[in-house]
Structure 1
């Protein structure tokens, strides 16, 4: 496909902010601990700031998911061996990765879709070995918050049922072109053992959404119509006060409650 040879103009509609600092790019890639036997997927490679460092690793398979045709063509020109998938990452069939063996996923995620993508990836990719994502700083705080912390929300409760999360480092707006208005941060995701994952994901998602839509209310108030003897017993067994707020529950407590409420 023909494309312009001049500099690519970032498209606001796609939430494009390109990384320009090679040191930060290397730090992000190093956090993934990529190896020559790995199957690595990069989301939103843009102008290849991370791809460049990933390509040097000589991974067994390196695939990038890019929805901007102009950028995809440039990436193919620069790295002919790269597998370029022209697709919207939100529509990518993540569950298909379960048939291809272990994989690692990395990306500087667009702010407007980062949370949704992470929600899908951690729950759908059972073969995930590790993921490293750069997101809006506020989202990074949510992803790594502990119960009882104001930043602990529905996204936290969901993601931590699938992965351990670690806040790695903050990234200032100055290393992007164009500059975003807020700070970013890099988070590492290490999957929990498969037998520790929720069996009934739909019920867990439903409970999390129900509780956090009314997060300022007491849990017993939100669940008033569902306060069966079993649920009342759950409060006693878990040592949770019915007047507690949703963000005080642990990820595991969301899971056990989701099976009975």
Structure 2
């Protein structure tokens, strides 16, 4: 039973699901977290690798789906079904990977939850609304808040996913992306702090069409090596990071 109030559109194409799970690159001793097990399509594919991963936690907010997921995984000892809201769930105290075809309407809170964690996942596979996902992978000259908030990760597209591959079919297409933790830039993020970085980006992109000299003093831009005639959409992550460091030196 699909519950429209939860924004549920379940990915049903098994070939696509296999590709997403393959992209997770499951290794021996991996700790896996699935966001929103739902009807269990991705969960079932993950369980086929139970001889490789150390632990799989499937977090599902709906009680009825949680019961069904418990039945599906009943013979797999290293799988736990957690009936809870991912947004308030504590992370594993060890290195882990995340996968999920997440509801469009809470994509932003879910990704912020992942990014603000002190112990960030080493790899994240997400299926999101196409327009939203493209913002995450776009850089200058089409940069946005979402181009830079993921500082600490290398992000790339796995594939586009047509609406017909979901049940019920949403009104828009989706995209699958992979986020891989990058030690160097993640250290930059750790030194800044996620919430400070997010607040700074909101300031930068508050008026995305304004030239930067209308947002920042010219001497700061010069020190950061950035032309004052540029607009926020023209900034690379390196530009934004450099500007932050100049302003906070």
> TM-score scaled by structure 1?
0.86
In the alignment, structure 1 residue 163 sits paired with structure 2 residue 163: no
In structure 2, what is the equivalent of residue 249 of structure 1?
Answer: 235
- Structure 2 counterpart SS, 1:29: helix
Contact 1:198–1:255 (Cα < 8 Å) also in 2: no
In structure 1, what is the equivalent of residue 83 of structure 2?
Answer: 86
Contact 1:204–1:254 (Cα < 8 Å) also in 2: no
Could you list the runs of 5+ residues in structure 1 that have no partner in the other structure?
A: 1-7
Contact 1:207–1:254 (Cα < 8 Å) also in 2: no
* C-alpha distance in structure 1 between counterparts of 2:202 and 2:190, whole Å: 16
1:13 to 5, 17, 23: 5
In the alignment, structure 1 residue 102 sits paired with structure 2 residue 95: yes
In the alignment, structure 1 residue 190 sits paired with structure 2 residue 195: no
In structure 2, what is the equivalent of residue 41 of structure 1?
Answer: 33
Contact 1:137–1:170 (Cα < 8 Å) also in 2: yes
Could you list the runs of 5+ residues in structure 2 that have no partner in the other structure?
A: none
In the alignment, structure 1 residue 153 sits paired with structure 2 residue 150: no
After superposition, what is the alpha-carbon deviation per residue over 1:15-39, rounded to whole angstroms, capped at 9, x for unaligned? 1001111111101100111123110
**Alpha carbons of structure 1 residues 127 and 141: separation in structure 2 relative to 1, 3 Å:** closer
- How far apart are residue 85 of structure 1 and its match? 1.4
Point out 4+ residue stretches in structure 1 off by more than 3 angstroms.
none
After superposition, what is the alpha-carbon deviation per residue over 1:99-118, rounded to whole angstroms, capped at 9, x for unaligned? x2210100001101112211
In structure 2, what is the equivalent of residue 222 of structure 1?
Answer: 215
* C-alpha distance in structure 2 between counterparts of 1:77 and 1:249, whole Å: 49
* C-alpha distance in structure 1 between counterparts of 2:188 and 2:196, whole Å: 16
Contact 2:35–2:102 (Cα < 8 Å) also in 1: yes
> TM-score scaled by structure 2?
0.90
In structure 2, what is the equivalent of residue 4 of structure 1?
Answer: none
* C-alpha distance in structure 2 between counterparts of 1:145 and 1:246, whole Å: 13
* C-alpha distance in structure 2 between counterparts of 1:169 and 1:85, whole Å: 29
In structure 2, what is the equivalent of residue 180 of structure 1?
Answer: 170
* C-alpha distance in structure 2 between counterparts of 1:179 and 1:156, whole Å: 28
* C-alpha distance in structure 1 between counterparts of 2:28 and 2:39, whole Å: 23
In the alignment, structure 1 residue 238 sits paired with structure 2 residue 212: no
1:69 to 57, 63, 66: 63
